[in-house]
Amino acid sequence: MKVLPDSAADLIARLLKRRGITRVFALCGGHIMPIWMRLDAAGIRIVDVRDERAAVHMAQAHAELTGELGVALVTAGPGMTNAVTGIANAHTSRAPVLVLSGGNPRPQENRGGLQDMDHTQLVRSITRYARTVREPSLVLQELDEAISRAFGEGGEPGPSYIDFPTDTLRGIVPKALQLDEHLDPKPRTVTLPNPAEVARAVELLWSARRVLVISGRGARGAGAELIGLLDRLGAAYLDTGESRGLVPDDHPSVVAAMRGAVMGDADVVLTVGRRLDFQLGYGSPAVFKDAKFIRIADAPSEMRDNRRGVVEIMASPAETLRAMVAQAGNRQSRVDRQWAAKLRSGHEDRARKLQQSMAAAPNGADGRLHPNKVLSALQQAIGNDSIVITDGGDFLAFARVGLNAPMMLDPGPFGCIGIGVPYGIAASLAFPGKTVVVATGDGAFGFNAIEIDTAVRHKAPVLIVVANNGAWQIEVHDQTVTHGKVVGTRLQFADHAGMARAFGMHAERVETEEQLGPAIERALANRPALLDMVVTPEAISSDGKTGLAWVPDLQPLAAWDDAERKWRASQGNA
């Protein structure tokens, strides 16, 4: 059945085109075919994937790397349920993603039709907006609202979901209701800070001796302003993955390798668009001691979670940082420059030693490569103008410190391993002129390994590096140490390169140091490509050593859990 111009499906495509959408990540199905064909007619590229979860992951990566809306299109029933993990990850990461789906024609609803279910009930708790639109004339205004909600207009940013009965998609929208006010792109809301609160923040920051600044998702787009504040204030700076690359590693404020020391030593902590979640010990006094907090955010969850600030500014981070520097004027910061310089020196020393130890990392007793040897060679080959996606459990702990790039993504606060290949495909399509590398463990790779077919078909110039240690290694280590027995956590040293070649991808298996450099060079020249790096399972990661796998009661890491217990006992409320 043909889909006509001025149909609801046609208007969906026209709105997305007007909003600057150039590609939609999707997997086909009859319930969404009207949208599918009108997207194609509008000149919007459809990146057809092999699993709906991957479609939403790709939409999220596109959104996080470009700042634009990411759009996924999935069919009804199992197509939509397959997408739920991707939607949940975008929800936790607060990424602006629009997920579109379809459903049974209205006369067949609730009668046992094919793939008939109430999708909106399923996703309402993990979306900012979830609607079924049954009336064609309401499609534009509902879509406009869903996009606004995805960008956080009136609340938290995150995924929006809309589906449409198939007969609604074929229905004609009267021209009188095809209003430009719904079709046209909307400017992003900029919220200016309260000058009185800016003055309070500046007074506290410029009077403090040991200031730590931590950035997160909400600081994206405020890189220049953040650097300007750091330059004027002389504070120490951390990011924990959400805004990796926002401040260059060669900036004197960056002290990532001294994370534990600076978190326990700061007297004032400024968070910029960053939740105080498990990665930051929930902001607990057991970790941050007596530090006072200043919170800046454009979303409530990044301002009031776990610890309240003595100053809280709900406003656009870029505008707030700019206003703070202006408010400070020529005032001299009282930050202890020797303290900051010592932290920076410690960071540089540890980073230098890490680079040296990585390059010299010996093979395991089994003769297999150390993960750090692989990462050292990879970093040297990709240079400093790349996009890096790190994925996995055990291997992620090596990769997040062993690799560095101006733009980086990882499984995020949801710990959603398996994002590597989809994120890498989306990144390489959005930035075809950059080197895009996925560094993933073999376990994580398996979740979306089939998407190497998508990379080949769409000529996505991505390099996928699989660290193949034949195990869920963090769990193997925990089971060995804690339980004295390994149960259900070993994998094969599977031939991932052979799998990739079966789909037409350039792929090699690397097992020796002599093969390492030449294989990386060939892979970079023949993307999309996959390197199956056989690494030793004897290498124990930092996360393996810190107790992450056994999930302590009070804090995510064993050392923090011990500190939390001691702090609570000292307060008389253990």
At 241-292, the pLDDT tens digits run 889 889 999 999 999 999 999 999 999 999 999 999 999 999 999 999 999 9
Range of weakest confidence among 221-235, 358-372, 531-545: 531-545
Q: Hey, what's the torsion of the CAs at 409, 393, 370, 241, to 10 degrees? A: 30
534 φ/ψ angles, rounded to the nearest 5 degrees: -80, 115
Q: Is 171 helix (H, G, I), strand (E, B) or coil?
A: coil
Give the residue from 17, 38, 21, 45 showing the smallest Cα distance to 460: 45
Cβ contact 424:386 at 8 Å: no
Please give, one letter per residue, the 3-state secondary structure of 527-548: CCEEEEEEECCCCCCHHHHCCH
Residue 543: per-residue pLDDT: 79
Rg (CA), the chain: 25
- Scanning the structure block, which residue is given the tokens 């700042």? 67
Question: Is 451 tagged catalytic?
Answer: no
pLDDT score of 12 = 98
User: Which segments of 312-385 does DSSP mark as H helices, in order?
Assistant: 317-328, 337-359, 371-382
CA dist., res. 513 & res. 533, Å (int)? 10
Least confident interval from 54-58, 301-305, 518-522: 301-305
Q: Give 467-495 pLDDT, tens digit per residue.
A: 999 999 989 998 998 899 999 999 999 99
- pLDDT at position 138: 97
Please report the pLDDT score of residue 496 as a whole number.
98
Q: What pLDDT score was predicted for residue 383?
A: 84
Average pLDDT of the residues of the chain:
95
Tens of pLDDT, residues 538-562: 998 887 777 667 788 999 988 999 9
Question: By three-state DSSP, how is residue 462 classified?
Answer: strand
Ramachandran angles phi, psi of 305, nearest 5°: -75, 135
For residue 154, name the pLDDT band (cuts at 50, 70, 90).
confident
pLDDT tens by residue, 18-68: 999 999 999 999 999 999 999 999 999 999 999 999 999 999 999 999 999
Can you tell me the distance from the alpha carbon of 448 to that of 453, in angstroms, rounded to the nearest whole number?
10
Read off the pLDDT band of 170 (50, 70, 90): very high
Mind listing the pLDDT tens digit for each residue in 387-408? 999 999 999 999 998 999 999 9
Residue among 51, 71, 27 at smallest CA distance from 446: 51
pTM (predicted TM-score): 0.95
194 touches 319 (CB < 8 A):
no
Residue type (1 letter), 558: A
Task: Decide: 294 and 229 in contact? Cβ < 8 Å.
Answer: no
- The residue ranking higher by pLDDT, 221 or 8, is 8
**The token pair that represents 491 in the structure block:** 């994998």
State phi, psi for 433 to the nearest 5 degrees: -85, -5
463 has pLDDT over 70: yes
Cα dihedral 299/305/308/313 (nearest 10): -10
Work out the end-to-end distance of the chain between its first and last CA atoms, rounded to an integer number of angstroms: 67
The predicted structure's pLDDT at residue 545: 75
DSSP helix/strand/coil, 63: helix
DSSP3 helix / strand / coil % (the chain, rounded to 5): 50, 15, 35
* CA–CA–CA angle 525, 388, 263 (5° rounding): 155
Cα–Cα distances in angstroms (integers) from residue 220 to residues 1, 24, 32, 159, 216, in the given order: 44, 23, 33, 18, 7
Q: What is the pLDDT of residue 140?
A: 97
CA distance 296 to 390: 28
Rounded distance between C-alpha atoms, residue 125 and residue 22, angstroms: 29
What pLDDT shows up at residue 305? 94
Between residues 114 and 398, which one has the greater pLDDT? 398
3-state secondary structure of 13: helix
pLDDT of 573: 61
DSSP strand E in 81-240: where? 97-103, 129-132, 160-165, 211-215, 236-239
Cβ neighbours of residue 443 closer than 8 Å, sequence gap 6 or more: 392, 393, 417, 471, 472, 491
Catalytic residue among 475, 508, 511, 564: 475
User: Over 20-34, what HEC string results?
Assistant: CCCEEEECCCHHHHH
